[in-house]
Amino acid sequence: MENIIIDVSKKIDGKYVKQGEVPIVVPVLSDIASLVVAAKITGTEDGLPVYDADEANWIQSAMLAYVKANARNKLKPGTAEVKEGLKIPTNWAELCAEGERGGNGAALQLAREVKEAFATWANTLGKSAATVKVMVSYFSNKTALELATEDHKGKLKAYVEQFAVSLDPETLERYERPIQSIMEVCDTVTADF
């Protein structure tokens, strides 16, 4: 598990003001791998397996929550109708894709390029490795960003704006759509469950 620090902020006069920091512990794939291999199915609930270990059930629940949020965000508000040009994922590639309209290889390549450029830029800010990791994680994973606190969304939006300003005009034009997509997610209200 990795220890990272997250900032806690409060919106004051339209700006996010840091109130403090909180250490959190985040599982990583190497932690999860052994748990998944050792997990034994003991039954089913709502069509999904139930395992003999709390950790395996937690991992299954986290994946379910992520997939549900991903699907809900592709629906027209208040309906069970999928937004035009979007598709609810049915495989790993679709779950991991950024959801660029059209879904062609060029769009996915551009999404990877923008993510790499943002990560490179973020590493020049002098922030801690943990902070950069969180920034890049949110930038790279819209579903995680959708579930982020409004404070984190506000902070990422400010960083994305700085990133956009740092780009030359031609690159900014190429990156406009992926950047705008991230900005739109930053402006959404985090759901309260």
Q: What is the pTM of this model?
A: 0.49
User: Going residue by residue through the chain (193 aa), what tens digit of pLDDT does each one get?
Assistant: 888 888 777 777 766 677 888 898 888 888 888 888 999 999 999 999 999 999 999 999 988 988 888 888 788 877 889 888 788 989 888 887 754 444 446 667 888 899 999 999 999 999 999 999 999 999 998 888 888 888 899 999 999 999 999 998 888 888 988 898 899 889 887 665 5
> Are 137 and 60 within 8 A, CB to CB?
no
Pull the structure tokens for residue 145: 């960003």
DSSP 151-173: HHHHHHHHHHHHHHHHS-HHHHH
The neighbouring-strand residues paired with 11 are: 16
d(CA 125, CA 183): 20
- At residue 9, the pLDDT reads 74
CA distances from 92 to 38, 59, 167 (A): 22, 16, 32
**Of the candidates 63, 64, 107, the residue with the CA atom closest to the CA atom of residue 85:** 107
pLDDT in the model for residue 120: 95
Specify the pLDDT at position 117. 95
pLDDT at 101: 43
pLDDT value at position 103? 45
